Structure 1
Amino acid sequence: MSRALLVGVDQYGDARDLSGCAADAGALEPLLARHEDGTPNFECRTVRGTVLREALLTDLDALLGPGADFALFYFAGHGREAHGDVVLGTTDGTGATSGVAFREVLERIGASAVKEVVVILDCCFAGGAGTMALLDSGAAVLRSGVSILAASRGDQVSWESRGRGRFSVFLEAALDGGAADVLGHVTVASVYAFLSESFGAWDQRPTFKANIERLHPLRHCRSAVDVKTLRLLVQWFPTPDHVLPLDPSYEPDALPRDPVHEAVFAQLQACRASKLVEPVGHQHLYFAAMESLGCRLTALGQHYWHLSDRGYL
């Protein structure tokens, strides 16, 4: 079972009010609540606008309580540097206690039985999360199964633009398929790769910290190549470096027609579009067939060949 707590704090009761955090949380909810095919994903609880410190801690306790094996915490709002940590600002924050220090979040995560926890922070100084010295050696330690995706470094602010957080707009695009692999899996690592490329050297820089053994998808999107096609790679290519001979019978425009070859060629075209297969002797797969040349697996195609060969698909 998967849970997600999405928090967007706009109201701070003074000139520090924000305008896009509630919208950011609301935009992410449908993407996390359902996979692209409409099947259920995270069971979401969304809190927007006015958020009080004690209420946020209560919601965190519920998120990390028994009954779930995957939990996601998203926060958009003010963040404040505090002795190597970052404090997540709440509406009732004061100078002495401006919200929830991230060490309080980490303490709850450390005590939780939830196996995998993903934290996504869209606030100023978000990169300070998880960097507090937790040992005498000064090393920072994340419990196994925990990953933190932050909108900026620990010494940077995070920006809003046109009523939305810039980070969260790109995060939304990543979850909507921009960070999906060939099979349609979107993971926290692929989301970070997408976000990292979305910001330049002069921009806020997203950060990623993790202590994980495997990547569980945050969301499933439509696969670029059907898994049944990927399993056929080992049949078409007996070895990863095999060159599959082609001829005009693979191309539907050629006569005489060969329905079996045409069906294979249609699947090879899908693999070509996803950079799994490349023609040999010509730039285009069509002419490789018409000129009786061939095709081979790319490095990415060989990766999926190995997955299929080992029974991982």
Structure 2
Amino acid sequence: MRRALLVGIDHYDHQRPLTGCVNDATALQPLLARNEDSTKNLDCRLLTGAVTRNDLLGGVRALLAGGADFAVLYFAGHGTPVDGDVALVTSDGQGETPGVLFAEVLTIARKSQVKEIVVILDCCFSGGAGTVAALTEAAVLRSGMSILTASRGDQYSAEAGGRGLFSTHLEGALEGGAADVLGHVTVAGLYAYVSECFDAWEQRPTFKANVDRLHDLRRCEPSVPLPTLHKLLEWFPDPAHHYRLDPTYEPDKSQSGLDPHPAHEEIFDQLQKCRANKLVEPVDHQHMYFAAMESGSCRLTPLGRHYWQMAKRGTL
């Protein structure tokens, strides 16, 4: 079973209110609940509005209780540094008890039987989560845990237009911006995507992980169909092979006087999809069109050779 708890807190009794956290959690919920093809993904719960310390701790305990093998915790709200740790500030937080220390979340996670846990923190100073000081019992995260944060431990996280900037980029990543060729979206892919959305003067997302494999946070439509990736073995008998082209592959033969060749045109269409995804490139030509019309060839790129090897090993 796969679960997600999405927390968004705008209301605070003793701190300035926020305006985008509930919007952030609400916007991400449908993306995590369903894959792009509308199949069920994560069983999501929203925790928004006035959220007390007890509410948050209870929600985290329920999320990481038995019966699930994958869990996602998303928190959007105030964060505050506390002795090298970060506190996830709750609506009733004040003084010496600002909310839930991330060390408390880690303690619950260490005792959990959930195999993979992903924590996404969209709050100020969130990079303090998972530091050596916060890890208390060990200097490493528990096995199967990943932490993605909106900023470093010494930075604020910005809001604009009723949304957090980090969560807005996160939404684009989940919609497919962070998907690989096969449509898999993982937490590592999210980090690679959102880290490029901020420049050197802005907040810097951080990523910490102790995993031996990454599970999908969401699945999107593959940019190259799986049967096409398997065809790479047929078109390229070895990774260094050059696949020969000629004008019969190009659908537009109006100037060549050649008859249609549906089989070659279908192959060329699939090769063009591979070209668009940087798996295949023309040899000594800028475009695949000219490689075909001038009887040139195409070859696998380094990324294409990677997927060729995966197809060869049967791991696609």
TM-score, normalised by the number of residues in structure 2: 0.96
CA distance in 2, matches of 1:36, 1:85: 36
The structural deviation recorded for 1:133 is 2.9
Can you list the C-alpha shifts for 1:194-243, whole angstroms capped at 9, x where unaligned?
11110111101100000010111111111110011000001000010100
SS in 2 for 1:68: coil
Unaligned runs of 5+ in 1: none
SS in 1 for 2:208: strand
Q: Say whether residues 1:148 and 2:147 are aligned partners.
A: yes
Task: Give the aligned partner of residue 52 of structure 2.
Answer: 52
CA distance in 1, matches of 2:206, 2:7: 20
CA RMSD of aligned residues (A): 1.3
- Which letter does structure 1 place at the counterpart of 2:213? R
Q: Say whether residues 1:201 and 2:204 are aligned partners.
A: no
- Give every structure 1 segment of 4 or more consecutive aligned residues whose post-TM-superposition deviation is greater than 6 Å: none
Larger CA deviation: 108-117 vs 91-100: 91-100
> Among residues 306, 309, 312, which one is paired with 1:309 in the alignment?
312
Can you list the C-alpha shifts for 1:10-36, whole angstroms capped at 9, x where unaligned?
000245110000000000000000000
Whether contact under 8 Å (2:106, 2:135) holds in the other structure is no
TM-score, normalised by the number of residues in structure 1: 0.97
Task: Give the aligned partner of residue 27 of structure 2.
Answer: 27
Whether contact under 8 Å (2:103, 2:134) holds in the other structure is no
CA distance in 1, matches of 2:101, 2:292: 62
CA distance in 2, matches of 1:285, 1:135: 53
Task: Give the aligned partner of residue 176 of structure 1.
Answer: 175
Q: Say whether residues 1:217 and 2:225 are aligned partners.
A: no
Mapping 1:114-263, distance limit 5 Å: 114-133=114-133, 140-254=139-253, 255-263=258-266
CA distance in 2, matches of 1:201, 1:280: 37
- Which letter does structure 1 place at the counterpart of 2:271? L
The structural deviation recorded for 1:140 is 2.5
- Which letter does structure 2 place at the counterpart of 1:162? G
Task: Give the aligned partner of residue 301 of structure 2.
Answer: 298
CA distance in 1, matches of 2:205, 2:283: 40
The percent identity for this pair of structures is 63
The structural deviation recorded for 1:278 is 0.6
SS in 1 for 2:238: coil
- Which letter does structure 1 place at the counterpart of 2:300? L
Structure 2 vs 1, CA of residues 135 and 60 (structure 1 numbering), >3 Å: closer, same or farther?
closer
Whether contact under 8 Å (2:10, 2:21) holds in the other structure is yes
The structural deviation recorded for 1:253 is 2.5
The structural deviation recorded for 1:252 is 1.9
Task: Give the aligned partner of residue 86 of structure 2.
Answer: 86
Unaligned runs of 5+ in 2: none
